[in-house]
Amino acid sequence: KRFHTLLAMILELVNEINTGGEGGASAVGFTLDSLTKLSETKAFDNKTTVLKYLVKVIRKTDKDVLKFREDIKSVVLAKGVVMERLLASAKQLCEDSRVVTEAAKDDGDDYRKFLKDPPTPKYKSRDMKAQRASVKELREMVTFLPVKDVPIGQMD
């Protein structure tokens, strides 16, 4: 909310500057890279920057807007993320998920067969240990995914 208010105030101020307060054609938006110009452009007195003037106006009208950083903490955390690497990782995760799903289905089929026709007790114990190890390995492979995003294989 605060960040949205800040952007609206910037747009209103820039439109005021561009139209000279005459109410002419106004911009409906701006690019984020144009925000750097606020610190480069001088205000009406040719001493103060538009950015400093904007901060003065905000301090007088709505100081809470200056706390907008609290609303965009995730943006600061994401500043070092390289999108190409992120997309490649997501693609790899999807492929890994597919492999895990197939393995889980195959292991599930084997386990269901085992339950229908259990072998001798000695073999049963060894097979159960192998099944548990397999299930544990699969769980470890997908623990980075939220439960709702883990694909489930078809059951019989």
Rounded to an integer, what distance in angstroms lies between the CA atom of residue 138 and that of residue 132? Answer: 10
pLDDT at 77 over 80: no
Residue 49 and residue 40 in contact, taking contact as beta carbons nearer than 8 Å: yes
Band (pLDDT 50/70/90 cuts) for residue 152 is: low
Band (pLDDT 50/70/90 cuts) for residue 11 is: confident
Q: What is the token pair recorded at 66?
A: 């200056």
Share of the chain above pLDDT 70, in %: 78
- Write down the pLDDT at residue 154: 43
Share of the chain above pLDDT 90, in %: 1
CA distances from 47 to 41, 53, 77, 88 (A): 10, 10, 35, 48
What's the start-to-end Cα distance of the chain, in Å? 50
Alpha helices in the chain (DSSP H): 2-19, 50-61, 73-78, 83-116, 121-142
Span 126-139, average pLDDT: 72
Span 87-116, average pLDDT: 86
